[in-house]
Chain A
Amino acid sequence: MNNVMDQFFDMQKNMINVWQEAFLPKTDAKEQKSEKMSKEAPEDTMDFFTKMMDFNSKLFSPFNDGNAFEIFKKMSFGTDVYYNVYKLWEDLNKQAFKPEMKEYTEMYGKWKDEYMNFVKQSVIPYLPKPMQSFVKEPMEIMEMYKGFVEKFYGPWIESSEVLKDYMVQGTYKNPIAYLDFMKLWEDNYSKSFGKILNSPTMGFNKEYYEKQQESMDTFVKYMTLLGEFSANIFSVAQKTMEDILDNYMEMQKSGNQPKTFKEFYEYWSKENENAYLKLFNTEDFSKLFSELVDSSMVFKMRYDGLIEEYLKFMPIPTKSEMNSLYKTVYDLKKQVKDARKELKDLKEEIANLSDVIKASK
């Protein structure tokens, strides 16, 4: 067993040594050795690396002015391109295609009103009296249904363009726009689906349905806050990375930049830690964090309640039932402790009294 492990470790060490041989500059002795091995091999692998970097810099200079940080910058802002393409298509769509949604809705409304008038004026009066209500009433019901649907989906329809824009902006351009998306989405939700999930139910399974709806509602609210929280965290990460690159460029001009991977990691890590501490120390973040924790707890409670509802008919105790038992045990234990203490004090008092009586005799 030991031999196998030793062999394994030797193999790993040899592998590292080979890597080292390949990349580190050669000492004289090693150089001679490598010359023997191949006369065509580069004199020094680091020289080879440097030459390769120079070659690459020259090759790509037309695209990036030979500056690596320009590439990073272009990469980080590159996603703007996606947003601009989206805007271009959006504008093109608005300019080129008619009718737009607004005009289409108006046109449809006008056509529908006229059709209804036609039915009212030219069809219904010619029907036999008892038949008229079979046409008239469904028309009114249809009108009411349409009104309800428009009211229910109204906030979503009205804000669909803005929502779409926030979403694309948040994805490709600026994470903060995602916060606006979440706020608007939550507002629409609370005016429409949220109201349904919070409305009372009826019937045999009333409690079960209410708990199910409540847990769905609290989950949506939790996810909304989680989205807002994540967008905050992500926007700091993005801003800090941009700042790090800018500062690194400045430091490089004066030669004060971190010189190794390790030094760069330490610099990157410290800058990020400071940026997050700055965010964490704001009152807004503190409130958002506690809202997030609170919403996750409310969801947990509602979900636990729902699980208990599922388990109601099973022969196992639920958490609520156990809590009731724990409370009883806690209260009883407290009473026992108090009684025991009282008894002990009384015993001591009696012992003291009997000592006094004995002494007085």
Chain B
Amino acid sequence: MNLAYGLDMQKSFDEFFALQKKMMRGMEVLMDVDDEGSDCTPKELVYEEDKMKLYHYKPLTKNTCKVPTLIVYALVNRQYMMDIQQDKSVIKNLLEQGLDLYIIDWGYPAPEDRYLTMEDYIEGYIHNTVDFICKANKVEKINIMGVCQGGTFSTIYSALHPDKIKNLVTMVAPIDFDTEEGLLFKWGKNLNIDSMVDAYGVIPGDVMNAGFVILKPFQLMLDKYITVLDNLDDSKQMSDFFRMEKWIFDSPGQAGETIRQFVNDLYKENKLVKGELMIGEKQVNLKNINMPLLNIYAEYDHLVPPSASKPLNDHIGSSDKEMVSFPVGHIGMYVSSKSQKEMAGKIAKWIMERSKKS
């Protein structure tokens, strides 16, 4: 071993040249890299209101669940993370297990959407969507599955309209904001969201993204791009990487009045679990949630730490409630092989069993 400054120079040079070769081969790979393939599971546009679109996925099994399930995604990223690519698609997995799925695409808010409130999203868009699905399927109740911020919205909706929801599934959903874990929760308490909303109206997606990447600056701004060099000559890996990269930075802006209330009432004052949250003129009482609940969280989530998701089970009125976790991070919940099959299988089985009950 030839050590210089404690470094094995021969091994280092071996790595260096291997990397150079990879980069050369990578140039050819990058010329043909394919970042398409997201949001490809067949679906149909069945309802739209303003910029919101509701899609119905084509069933992949003969006998689908009689109670349809509505997926409500967060406003901060696009919903196709659930269908990022065919071999890692949560949606496809759920359809193969027999669920009848609908998904909301919130679209991209434009300057005229700055005045949209949480009430507009929950009592307007979600409520109208639920009504539409009930009518289209001739059912009184549907299942709702809320992801991240969509999980918070779904929880609030279920508390306001328990008569419309058969089963509630929340995934990595922030509920109890009074936690010291997770920088978003720490910084959110001091952030003056009012000046941000007043300055921007609709807060641009790029501003939101800058806030997200600074949470792990070296990992997300440097490491990620250094590590990708190791896979530069692997076209499959590079396609996967670019698909994710495209999704991460495909960030819609945030309707000002909605994010104002979300930060002030939830991040700062934790009103949801205190029973003080007002949606329009209605007070949200989590005890009204009397339907079965499946609460799923990621054990290494740096955006929505477990301590923010887990307390939901303690605050609701249901007797049938379950909590499941996976040893992954926030994004890993949808794309990691660890959680993929296992999680979809668990959700589908749980929903199917409870959807049979009258």
Q: For chain B, what secondary structure do more than half of its interface residues adopt (helix, strand, loop), or is it mixed?
A: helix
Q: Tell me if B24 and A329 are in contact (CB < 8 A).
A: no
Confirm or deny: B223 has a beta carbon within 8 angstroms of a beta carbon on chain A.
yes
Confirm or deny: A12 has a beta carbon within 8 angstroms of a beta carbon on chain B.
yes
Query: Measured between alpha carbons, how far is A230 from B14 in the docked complex, in Å?
Result: 38
Q: Give the residues in chain A near B124, CB-CB below 8 Å.
A: 337
Bitwise, B98-131 to A at CB < 8 A (1) or not (0) is 0000000000000110111000100010000000
Q: Give the residues in chain B near A261, CB-CB below 8 Å.
A: 7, 12, 15-16
Q: Tell me if B2 and A297 are in contact (CB < 8 A).
A: no
| Cβ 8 A contact of B7, one of A264, A289, A297 | A264
| Cβ 8 A contact of A13, one of B24, B114, B199 | B24
Confirm or deny: A220 has a beta carbon within 8 angstroms of a beta carbon on chain B.
no
B4-43 residues with Cβ-Cβ distance < 8 A to A are 4-17, 20-21, 24, 27-28
Q: How far is the CB of A255 from chain B (nearest CB, A)?
A: 9
Given the known interface contacts A9-B27, A53-B4, A286-B186, the answer about A293 and B17 at a Cβ–Cβ threshold of 8 Å is: no
Count of B interface residues, CB-CB < 8 Å: 50
Q: Tell me if B217 and A9 are in contact (CB < 8 A).
A: no
Q: Tell me if A16 and B4 are in contact (CB < 8 A).
A: no
Q: For chain A, what secondary structure do more than half of its interface residues adopt (helix, strand, loop), or is it mixed?
A: helix
Nearest opposing residue in chain A for B257, CB measure = A330
Q: Tell me if B20 and A16 are in contact (CB < 8 A).
A: yes
Query: Measured between alpha carbons, how far is A12 from B24 in the docked complex, in Å?
Result: 7
B177-193 residues with Cβ-Cβ distance < 8 A to A are 183, 186-187, 189-192
Confirm or deny: B319 has a beta carbon within 8 angstroms of a beta carbon on chain A.
no
| Cβ 8 A contact of B198, one of A19, A252, A301 | A301
Query: Measured between alpha carbons, how far is A333 from B125 in the docked complex, in Å?
Result: 13
Q: Tell me if B114 and A323 are in contact (CB < 8 A).
A: yes
B298-351 residues with Cβ-Cβ distance < 8 A to A are none
Q: Give the residues in chain B near A298, CB-CB below 8 Å.
A: 195, 199
Nearest opposing residue in chain B for A300, CB measure = B199
Q: Give the residues in chain B near A334, CB-CB below 8 Å.
A: 120
Nearest opposing residue in chain A for B120, CB measure = A334
| Cβ 8 A contact of B17, one of A16, A69, A252, A289 | A16
Q: Tell me if B13 and A23 are in contact (CB < 8 A).
A: yes
Confirm or deny: B136 has a beta carbon within 8 angstroms of a beta carbon on chain A.
no
Q: Give the residues in chain B near A68, CB-CB below 8 Å.
A: 5
Q: Name which of A165-173, A209-217, A265-273 contacts chain B.
A: A265-273
A230-264 residues with Cβ-Cβ distance < 8 A to B are 248, 251-252, 257-262, 264
| Cβ 8 A contact of A290, one of B27, B183, B187 | B187
Given the known interface contacts A9-B24, A19-B17, A273-B216, the answer about A46 and B10 at a Cβ–Cβ threshold of 8 Å is: yes
Interface size class of A (residues with CB under 8 A): 35 or more
Q: Give the residues in chain A near B4, CB-CB below 8 Å.
A: 49-50, 53
Confirm or deny: B219 has a beta carbon within 8 angstroms of a beta carbon on chain A.
yes
Q: Give the residues in chain B near A277, CB-CB below 8 Å.
A: 183, 216
Q: Tell me if A330 and B112 are in contact (CB < 8 A).
A: yes
Q: Tell me if A281 and B186 are in contact (CB < 8 A).
A: yes
Confirm or deny: A20 has a beta carbon within 8 angstroms of a beta carbon on chain B.
yes
Query: Measured between alpha carbons, how far is A282 from B150 in the docked complex, in Å?
Result: 29
Query: Measured between alpha carbons, how far is A262 from B17 in the docked complex, in Å?
Result: 12
Given the known interface contacts A68-B5, A301-B199, the answer about A326 and B183 at a Cβ–Cβ threshold of 8 Å is: no
Given the known interface contacts A12-B24, A304-B199, A329-B112, the answer about A24 and B14 at a Cβ–Cβ threshold of 8 Å is: yes
Q: Tell me if A16 and B24 are in contact (CB < 8 A).
A: yes
Query: Measured between alpha carbons, how far is A4 from B214 in the docked complex, in Å?
Result: 43
Q: How far is the CB of B165 from chain A (nearest CB, A)?
A: 20
Q: Tell me if A297 and B199 are in contact (CB < 8 A).
A: yes
Interface residues of B (CB under 8 A from A): 2, 4-17, 20-21, 24, 27-28, 50, 111-112, 114-116, 120, 124, 183, 186-187, 189-192, 195-196, 198-201, 214-219, 222-223, 226
A-B contact pairs, 24 of them (CB 8 A): A9-B24, A16-B21, A19-B17, A23-B17, A24-B17, A25-B10, A46-B10, A50-B9, A53-B4, A258-B7, A259-B12, A260-B7, A261-B12, A262-B15, A272-B218, A276-B218, A289-B190, A297-B195, A297-B199, A298-B199, A301-B198, A323-B111, A323-B114, A337-B124
Sorted from nearest, which 4 A-B pairs have the closest CB atoms?
A290-B190, A297-B195, A273-B218, A297-B199
